[in-house]
């Protein structure tokens, strides 16, 4: 639909294919983070930085193809905004991986189960976001994908509140331990917020094309 409506030229196709690749990298980064939590392997956190760099280069490619003239002018900012929203998810993933390197692992054990639940949800959400993007292009039901993402986001909010309840009961005497765990959880739970924003944005693009 998006291709048809906007001409479906070579440049447009390139933008859509590259965006799909970009979202696939986001999904890989989510999987990478989940594996880091499972294995508690610090070295694994560096895969996020590598994937972020790869995504960064794709993002620049997408923006430059749009600058070359892909899509009608009124749709260009929408695609750019969508890419910029998802870029924030990479920032949150990177912060999360960085904080994990310095996290007090005894404290981590106490919330590992909740953290893994969030990581699993983030991964599922990124998969649904890819499907939502495909649904936008193929003019399928994007509303259902958007709803599922909202359900997942609420679930993450609930888990975040459970974690906060647990953490408030701990006596953390080391400043850095407290700062690390606080920033780690903030970044981890922010990912689902960003994916929800990206999904909402796709939904708005879908509505604006009707």
Partner 1 sequence: MAKKIYEIMNTKLETIPADATVYEAIEKLIDKRIRSLLVLPKDEKDRPGVVTVRNIIFKVLAKNLDPHKVKISEISSKPLITVSKEATVEDVLALMEKYNIARVFIKEGDEIVGVVSFFDIMAHILIERAKS
What is the contact surface with partner 1 in residues (CB under 8 A)?
A: 124, 127-128, 131, 144-145, 147-149, 151-152, 155, 158, 162
Considering the complex, what minimum distance in angstroms separates the CB of residue 162 from partner 1? 6
Considering the complex, what minimum distance in angstroms separates the CB of residue 148 from partner 1? 3
Considering the complex, what minimum distance in angstroms separates the CB of residue 145 from partner 1? 5
Q: Which of 205, 188, 176 is nearest to 45 (CA)?
A: 188
SS3 percent helix, strand, coil of the chain, rounded to 5, is 85, 0, 15
Pick the closer one to partner 1 by CB: 100 or 152. Answer: 152
Considering the complex, what minimum distance in angstroms separates the CB of residue 151 from partner 1? 5
Pick the closer one to partner 1 by CB: 43 or 113. Answer: 113
- The token duo for 97 is 């991986």
27-33-38-43 Cα dihedral, nearest 10 degrees: 130
Considering the complex, what minimum distance in angstroms separates the CB of residue 168 from partner 1? 16
Pick the closer one to partner 1 by CB: 104 or 120. Answer: 120
Pick the closer one to partner 1 by CB: 43 or 165. Answer: 165
Pick the closer one to partner 1 by CB: 124 or 197. Answer: 124
């Amino acid at each position: 639909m998006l291709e048809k409506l906007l001409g479906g030229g070579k440049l447009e196709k390139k933008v859509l294919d590259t965006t799909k690749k970009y979202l696939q990298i986001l999904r890989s980064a989510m999987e990478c983070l989940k594996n880091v939590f499972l294995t508690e392997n610090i070295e694994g956190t560096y895969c996020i930085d590598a994937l972020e760099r790869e995504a960064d280069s794709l993002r620049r490619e997408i923006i430059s193809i749009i600058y070359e003239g892909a899509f009608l002018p009124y749709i260009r900012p929408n695609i750019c905004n969508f890419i910029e929203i998802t870029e924030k998810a990479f920032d949150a993933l990177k912060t999360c991986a960085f904080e994990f390197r310095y996290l007090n692992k005894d404290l981590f054990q106490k919330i590992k189960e909740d953290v893994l639940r969030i990581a699993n949800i983030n991964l599922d959400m990124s998969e649904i976001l890819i499907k939502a993007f495909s649904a936008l292009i193929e003019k399928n039901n994007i509303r259902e994908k958007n709803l599922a993402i909202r359900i997942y986001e609420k679930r993450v909010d609930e888990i975040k509140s459970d974690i906060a309840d647990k953490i408030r009961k701990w006596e953390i005497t080391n400043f850095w331990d407290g700062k690390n765990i606080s920033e780690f959880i903030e970044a981890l739970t922010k990912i689902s917020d960003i994916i929800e924003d990206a999904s909402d944005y796709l939904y708005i693009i879908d509505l604006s094309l009707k």
